[in-house]
Amino acid sequence: MSKHPKVTKPGRSVDTWAILFIVVLAVGAAMFWASSQ
């Protein structure tokens, strides 16, 4: 059971960074598309 928290913490932070990266990428793509139109 002591192994689970250690595995969960990095996994959650990776998920958070992945979501943040995708959001930033989407916002950047939307701004680029808006400026191109």
Joined tokens for residue 12: 């959650």
CB atoms within 10 A of CB 19: 10
Helix (H, G, I), strand (E, B) or coil at 2: coil
Instruction: Indicate if the pLDDT at residue 11 is higher than 90.
Output: no
- Mean pLDDT calculated for residue range 6-31: 84
Q: Is the pTM of this model over 0.75?
A: no
Alpha-carbon torsion, ordered 33, 30, 17, 15, to 10 deg: -110
Question: What percent of the chain has pLDDT above 90?
Answer: 51
